[in-house]
Structures are given as C-alpha cells and as structure tokens.
C-alpha cells in the first residue's frame, strides 16, 4: 500500500470535532445571553448574535458527520437544545422587526437549526414579513457577504435553479474569481476569499460551481497559507485549509503539512489559539472572568478547527497521514531553509518540519519558498527576493502565484530604481529568463 495515500485517523478527526462542540456548549452558556465586553481591550467585545450564529454554523457542518458517529450526534443535539432559546429570543425577534435589512443575519441560527430538524413556524412567519418589507434590500454588501445571504435564503426556502444562476454571477465578482494580492494584501482580503469559498461550497449542501478552476483557487490558497502559518494565524490558516476538503478529495503536500501543524499546535495548547488571545491576561485572570475571556477571544479559532475536521470527515476528504514525495526535488528545502533559519526564530511550523525526513521537506519546498518570499517582501529585501527567485527557478518552483507576483513586483521596483536610484541601492534587475518564467507561471 502507498502510505502517502493513507488517510488521517477518523477517530482523531471525530475527537477534535467533539472538542469544538464541547467548547460550543460553553460558548452558548456563557456568551449567548449577553455577549462579552472587554474593559481593557474593547476590540475584543463580542455581540451575542455573532456567537449564536457561528455556533449554529458549526452545528450545521458537524451534522454531516453525525450520521456515522453517534458521539458527534449527541454533542450536536445537546448544543442545539441549548442554542434554540437564544437563536429565537425576544431580542432576535425585535431585531427582525427593527432591522429587516439584517433579517437573514439575525435569523441565520434559526435557519441552521431548522435545517437540523428544529423548526419554528412562528419565527418563520416573522422572518417572512421582514424579508418581504421594503427595507430588506437596504444594506450594501461585498460579494462574499452577498453569497452568504443567498446561501441563507436557499437554506431557508429551498434551492432554486434561478437563484443558483444568480449566485454564480455573484461568485464571479468575489475574491474567488479575482487574484489576491498575496504579498501586501490585508488580512481582510484572505477572509473574503475563505468566506466566499465557504458560501460557494456550502459544506457540500447543494454546492455552487466555482468561478475559476479548482487548481487556480487552491494555488492562491496555498500562497496565503504560507503567510498565515508563518504569522501563526491559525484562524485564517484553518479557513484556508478548508479549501481542500470542500472542493475535492486530494490534498497538496503543503496543505497536508498545514493540517499537521494545526493539529500539533492544538494538541500542545489544548485548543487552537487565536492571534488576539493574550497569555499574560489569561494568567492574570481567574475563574469565570478567565473562562469568558478565553472563550470570547479564541472560540472562533476553535470553531474553525471543528469546521475543518467536519469537512475532513466527509467521504474521502481526510488529509493524508504522510507527505507525498512524488514531485519532490532533492536538496531544494535545505537551500531555502538556510535563508529562513537566519531570518526568524523558531516557529510552530518549523517544529513540525523537523520531524520530517529530507525528502518530505523537499516535497513542501514550494511552501517554504513562499514563506521566505513573504518575509523578504516585509523586509523590503529586494536582493533577497531576486536570489529566492533564482533558487525557485533552479528547482521548478516558480509556477505559483506568490513567485509570479514577486517577479512582477521586482520588475516594477527595478523600473522605479532606474528612475530613482536611491530606492534600492545595489539591487540588480531580475534575470530575464527567471522573471519571465515566474511572472507567467501563475497568471490567471
């Protein structure tokens, strides 16, 4: 048997999903009533509606695994029963009456619960009144939020062929159909990408057709994954990894490695930590105050791991146990690591990499090259980027969106340098053959 095709242990995926559902029960008990207010850092404030809605989404995703795994079913039912009073509370009903433009946002948890077998006809009637009101369309949204609204409508009223066409048109306006700025884009751009993908795939509940070929979308996901792993941003890293199980059955070596990193971090910490959780505050707080802070700042990342495991439990969608070395170019990783080890202290991904043999490291050399390029861009190390592109060219690793965007950026900087030499003293133009290869390799 080819061990590279052996799948991740189903029991472990179930264990991780159940852990997220246990946290979900705590979130409902502690945060669904009033949310969370952080007196020291108001950016951590959490509205109860957000926790309620995201908990319902986790339950909907977990439902796909509940039929085969009774322990998942038990957790889903337990959390759903706790969630129902908050999803259909007087506060939510009043919000439907007062803000019809946000009706589907407020009703999202209700819609998910109804899909799970917990209907409420009276709530449906009130929601229908809000949806039919003049002000229902009174909120402008970016494309990924439009996709969310259309999915909520389909979940509530049933899939419609004409709506499928309109949703596909919206998807073509989203970040899924538009190349991301992988070098200097904002975190919100990656968020838009991951959520557009989530609302197109719909956890395989009547998924929509992707607006671009899967290989192009996954190539961009891999380029963004390199940045998130190096930033130790496991919230976005987990959302990016959803791209593989939600769009097909094959995981790239880089994606399989990314899942191993997240699993290792979760096992070491006891949960998947979020960028906004501050350990010094965790150590200062005690009792219920400490629990609420941890839940409010990290529950979303815990949920992301739960969503990822739920998607991986779909038939044939689990990540491989081992990294495939079929396309590895021997010796490539060590050349890139020499530069990486000199530029940054140990990272979580580096600890996982050290457990792999040299050929497996070579198999994810493209991911390592992307990480090195991201670091060099932040440092404005144009000469270093030039060298990295040369390393990539020698190992056939420049057919990627990150390398393509680096080559284009260096071309722009070189042109600017010729006009204003002070910008990058000592930087030579990119070698023409390498620049042409990288810049054309992933053009969409």
pLDDT beyond 80 at 293: yes
- In this predicted structure, what is the pLDDT of residue 443? 46
Of the chain, the percentage scoring pLDDT greater than 70 comes to 90
430 confidence band (pLDDT: 50, 70, 90): very low
Residue of higher predicted confidence among 331 and 442: 331
Write out pLDDT tens, residues 4-28: 469 999 999 999 999 999 999 999 9
Of 271, 231, 299, 297, the residue nearest 42 (C-alpha): 297
H/E stretch holding 167: helix 161-173
- In this predicted structure, what is the pLDDT of residue 432? 45
- Residue 423 DSSP symbol: G
- In this predicted structure, what is the pLDDT of residue 4? 46
Residue of higher predicted confidence among 3 and 419: 419
Q: What is the mean pLDDT of the chain?
A: 91
Contact 319, 255 (CB under 8 A): yes
pLDDT beyond 60 at 441: no
pLDDT beyond 70 at 179: yes
Flag whether the pTM goes above 0.85.
yes
CA distances to 38, 56, 286 from 28, in Å: 18, 10, 20
Question: For 124-145, what is the mean pLDDT?
Answer: 96
Write out pLDDT tens, residues 295-332: 999 999 999 999 999 999 999 999 999 999 998 889 99
1 confidence band (pLDDT: 50, 70, 90): very low
Contact 311, 203 (CB under 8 A): yes
């Amino acid at each position: 048997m080819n061990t590279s095709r052996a799948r991740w242990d189903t029991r472990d995926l179930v264990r991780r999903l159940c852990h997220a559902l246990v946290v979900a029960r705590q979130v409902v008990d502690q945060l669904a009533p009033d949310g969370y207010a952080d007196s020291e850092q108001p950016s951590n404030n959490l509205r109860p509606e957000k926790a309620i809605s995201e908990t319902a989404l986790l339950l909907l995703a977990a439902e796909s695994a509940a039929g085969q795994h009774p322990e998942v079913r038990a957790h889903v039912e337990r959390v759903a029963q706790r969630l129902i009073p908050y999803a259909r509370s007087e506060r939510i009903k009043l919000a439907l009456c007062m803000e019809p433009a946000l009706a589907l946002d407020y009703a999202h948890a209700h819609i998910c619960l109804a899909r799970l077998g917990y209907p409420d006809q009276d709530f449906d009637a009130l929601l229908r009144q809000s949806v039919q009101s003049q002000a229902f369309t009174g909120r402008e949204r970016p494309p990924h939020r439009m996709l969310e609204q259309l999915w909520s409508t389909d979940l509530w009223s049933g899939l419609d062929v004409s709506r499928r066409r309109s949703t596909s048109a919206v998807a073509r306006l989203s970040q899924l159909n538009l190349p991301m700025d992988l070098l200097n884009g904002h975190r919100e751009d990656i968020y838009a990408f991951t959520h557009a993908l989530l609302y197109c795939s719909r956890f395989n509940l009547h998924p929509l057709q992707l607006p671009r070929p899967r290989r192009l979308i996954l190539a961009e996901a891999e380029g963004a994954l390199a940045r998130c792993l190096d930033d130790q941003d496991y919230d976005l890293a987990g959302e990016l990894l959803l791209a593989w199980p939600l769009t097909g059955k094959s995981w790239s070596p880089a994606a399989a490695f990314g899942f191993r990193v997240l699993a290792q971090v979760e096992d070491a910490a006891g949960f998947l930590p979020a960028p906004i959780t501050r350990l010094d505050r965790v150590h200062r707080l005690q009792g219920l105050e400490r629990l609420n802070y941890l839940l409010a700042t990290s529950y979303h990342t815990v949920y992301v791991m739960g969503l990822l495991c739920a998607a991986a439990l779909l038939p044939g969608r689990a990540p491989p146990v081992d990294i495939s070395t079929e396309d590895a170019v021997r010796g490539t990783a060590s050349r890139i690591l020499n530069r990486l080890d000199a530029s940054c202290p140990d990272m979580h991904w580096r600890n996982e990499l050290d457990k792999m043999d040299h050929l497996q490291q070579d198999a994810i050399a493209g991911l390592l090259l992307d990480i090195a390029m991201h670091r060099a861009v932040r440092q404005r190390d144009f000469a270093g980027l030039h060298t990295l592109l040369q390393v990539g060219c020698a190992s056939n690793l420049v057919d990627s969106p990150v390398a393509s965007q680096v080559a284009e950026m260096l071309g722009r900087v070189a042109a600017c340098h010729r006009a204003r030499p002070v910008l990058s003293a000592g930087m030579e133009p990119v070698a023409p053959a390498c620049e042409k290869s990288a810049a054309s390799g992933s053009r969409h």
